[in-house]
């Protein structure tokens, strides 16, 4: 049977800023014997004269069995193409079931009020290619997550936040992984926005690096990385007032971890949902927080603000693990100096072990220096890993080592109500012994450039918790 293209939808209209932060759904009826679905969303104007004042729309496709593709790309057009055995990056290949499907447009930002027209014009087109069925492939691959990984208990270094052409990145999965191997990373999470289509390439990764299956769940009110993800998350039920509970529940049903991204970054209109704006969140259910995104001192990320929020949550009794991510979208961004990496102490470098290490808080983040310590509490209990607990007596004897320093720096002992300098050095390494430190509930170590307590962060360890029992 010759292939035939069948139009399914041609809709258009105009939206103003009052239509932002909505999920606009369009139903399509997919015919029998469909072998490929195509959709295109276009709009005008692109922006208000700046890339950071851009109209931001995203297109996703949902079939009878759930998510089948996302187009979250920069520009004024998004395309989706899915077939039985192949798909455009962002889409999931596989059988195309006849029946009711839904195209969803997320209107993140609509900023046309300063333009002469005063509105945004949009058009959504969809069509089906009908013909003979072909051999199909699995929509995603998860075997890479189960493959045995070498290495025993030690520190493993990786990047937990990166993007490719499967969403708004400018680099392929192959090149992204090649660059990570060249930088000596042990693990890598590709966190493309609202899709898991990049998981189909997991089996092509070299043996020297472990993939962490992940996606950046991108909502109007906050971004969250989900690690250990097997199936796509449906974020369309997010509401600012009700919080991210449904997203967290979907992730935890898969035994995946949820991490809040760049919580104090510039939000609308600079970046849709990049600032954490959920009015309600059960932080006892959140596993981690990205307190260091990209280079430390970039104003639009406000990593110091993210660190302050995380500290407030620690003071309130929550135990979210602090992590970092480069948030790189290109090879050029990979080349930036002082990008943070996440160090996880784990049984090996498999996905399961890395995620277990994050759950336990056995993590420090660093732009280069290596940080280690040995601590003894007043009850005689000794610890040497972040995330561990010691007696609640409040007195800590501490030995700290910092290596691979490339500039003058100071080690800081941070506990609620107190920030104490432990020692400083001009580079190379620092070795400090300090007895009788007072800890109140928890304490952590920071390594900052120069001699000021607000100097640029060079390394940060997760807390040791002082608790009875």
Quick: pLDDT tens for 129-181: 999 876 554 444 455 555 556 679 999 999 999 999 999 999 999 999 999 99
Task: Please indicate, yes or no, if residue 350 is contained in any of the structural domains.
Answer: yes
Q: For CA atoms 292, 294, 298, 302, give the dihedral sign.
A: negative
Task: Give the other-Cβ count within 10 Å of 71's Cβ.
Answer: 27
Q: Give residue 141's pLDDT.
A: 46
Give per-residue burial for 244-259: e unless 16+ CB within 10 Å, then b: bbbbbebbeeeebbbb
**Residue 367's pLDDT band (cuts 50, 70, 90):** very high
Distance CA 435, CA 376 (A): 9
Statement to judge: residues 272 and 158 lie in one domain: yes
Preceding peptide of 202 cis, ω within 30°: no
Structure tokens at 440: 């109140």
Kindly state whether residues 121 and 147 are assigned to the same domain.
no
Whether 97 maps to a domain, the answer reads yes
Q: Are residues 273 and 390 in the same domain?
A: no
The reported pLDDT for the residue numbered 397 is: 95
Tell whether 29 and 51 lie within a shared domain: yes
What CATH code is carried by the domain that includes residue 118?
2.60.120.380
- Distances, alpha carbon 337 to alpha carbons 236, 362, 436, in Å: 37, 25, 37
CA 243 from centre of chain: 18
Cα separation, 366 vs 339, whole angstroms: 8
Task: Look at residues 323, 345, 366 and tell me which one is the last residue of a structural domain.
Answer: 366
Query: 269 with 123, same domain?
Result: no
Determine the Cα–Cα distance for residues 436 and 428; give it in Å rounded to an integer: 27
**Would you state the pLDDT for residue 315?**
97
* Domain membership of residue 190 as a residue range: 143-366
**pLDDT digit string (tens) for 223-267?**
999 999 999 999 998 888 889 999 999 999 999 999 999 999 999
Q: Answer yes or no: is 226 within a domain.
A: yes
Phi, psi dihedral angles at 203 (to 5 degrees) = -70, -15
In a domain, residue 136? The reply is no
Give the residue among 456, 396, 440 at the shortest CA–CA distance from 422: 396
- Is 333 found in the same domain as 381? no
Last residue of a domain, one of 366, 387, 415: 366
**Percent of the chain, pLDDT > 90?**
83
Report the domain count for the chain. 3
User: In this predicted structure, what is the pLDDT of residue 71?
Assistant: 93
Domain end (from 130, 162, 183): 130
pLDDT of residue 250: 97
């Amino acid at each position: 049977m010759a292939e035939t293209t069948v139009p399914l939808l041609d809709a258009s209209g105009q939206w103003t800023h009052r239509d932002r932060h909505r999920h606009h759904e369009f139903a399509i009826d997919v015919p029998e014997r469909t072998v490929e679905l195509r959709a295109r969303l276009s709009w005008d104007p692109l922006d208000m004269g700046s890339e950071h004042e851009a109209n931001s729309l995203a297109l996703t496709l949902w079939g009878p069995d759930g998510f089948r593709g996302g187009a979250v790309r920069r520009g004024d057009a998004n395309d989706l193409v899915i077939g039985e055995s192949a798909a455009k990056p962002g889409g999931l290949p596989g059988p195309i079931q006849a029946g009711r499907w839904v195209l969803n447009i997320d209107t993140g930002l609509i900023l046309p009020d300063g333009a002469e027209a005063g509105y945004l014009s949009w058009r959504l087109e969809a069509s089906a290619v009908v013909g003979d069925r072909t051999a199909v492939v699995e929509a995603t691959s998860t075997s890479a997550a189960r493959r045995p990984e070498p290495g025993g208990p030690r520190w493993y270094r990786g990047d937990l936040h990166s993007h490719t052409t499967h969403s708004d990145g400018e680099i392929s999965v192959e090149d992204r992984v090649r660059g990570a191997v060249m930088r000596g990373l042990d693990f890598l999470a590709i966190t493309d926005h609202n899709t898991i289509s990049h998981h189909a390439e997991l089996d092509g990764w070299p043996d020297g690096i472990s993939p962490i299956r992940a996606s950046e769940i991108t909502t109007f009110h906050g971004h969250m990385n989900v690690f250990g993800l097997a199936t796509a998350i449906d974020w369309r039920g997010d509401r600012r007032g009700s919080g991210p509970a449904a997203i967290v529940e979907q992730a935890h049903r898969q035994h995946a971890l949820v991490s809040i991204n760049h919580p104090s970054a510039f939000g609308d209109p600079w970046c849709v949902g990049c600032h954490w704006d959920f009015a309600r969140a059960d932080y006892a259910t959140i596993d981690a927080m990205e307190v260091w995104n990209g280079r430390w001192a970039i104003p639009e990320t406000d990593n110091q603000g993210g660190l302050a929020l995380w500290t407030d949550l620690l003071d309130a009794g929550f135990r979210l693990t602090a992590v970092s991510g480069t948030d790189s979208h290109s090879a050029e961004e990979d080349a930036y100096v002082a990008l943070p990496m996440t160090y996880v102490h784990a049984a090996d470098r498999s996905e399961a072990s890395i995620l277990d290490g994050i759950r336990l808080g056995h993590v420090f983040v660093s732009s280069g220096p290596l940080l280690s310590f040995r601590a003894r509490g007043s009850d005689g209990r000794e610890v040497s890993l972040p995330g561990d607990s010691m007696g609640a007596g409040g007195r800590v004897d501490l030995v700290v080592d910092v290596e691979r320093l490339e500039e003058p720096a100071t080690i800081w002992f941070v506990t609620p109500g107190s920030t104490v300098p432990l020692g400083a050095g001009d580079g190379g390494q620092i070795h400090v012994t300090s007895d009788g430190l007072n800890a109140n509930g928890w304490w952590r170590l920071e390594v900052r450039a120069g001699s000021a307590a607000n100097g640029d962060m060079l390394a940060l360890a997760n807390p040791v918790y002082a608790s009875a029992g």
